Structure 1
Amino acid sequence: MEFEVESLYDSLTGYFDPSEGRRRRQRTKTFEEEQHERKQLELIAQMEMAEATEKVPDEGW
């Protein structure tokens, strides 16, 4: 019974991870880890924008 309650709780919270065909608890991230991840995503987005603007052909207007 305890396992069922735990599985239900996990499925209703951020701990739920449906990968690998089974449920398991995920480790929660610290504030610093979340900041680092957000910063990495922002840098990637900036790099992609820079690449996209480089690929735009110069119309010579």
Structure 2
Amino acid sequence: MNLGNLDLILVVLAFLGLQVWWIGMTIRNGQNEKPLRSSEDSLKEQKQQLENLYRKE
């Protein structure tokens, strides 16, 4: 076997190992992710709080 073949095999194995690691990290991060609240809900809540604040005065 040529020396170049051994180097190529090592590079391919390193690449595949990094791909498996990256995909695993991506899947784990997706499972722990909290759903984002829409900006409309946040704006509605802020509007309601401000309206309540001005009503009290």
TM normalised by structure 2 equals 0.50
Higher RCO structure, 1 or 2 (CA under 8 Å, sep 6+) = 1
| TM-score, reference length from structure 1 | 0.47
Q: Which has the larger Rg?
A: 2
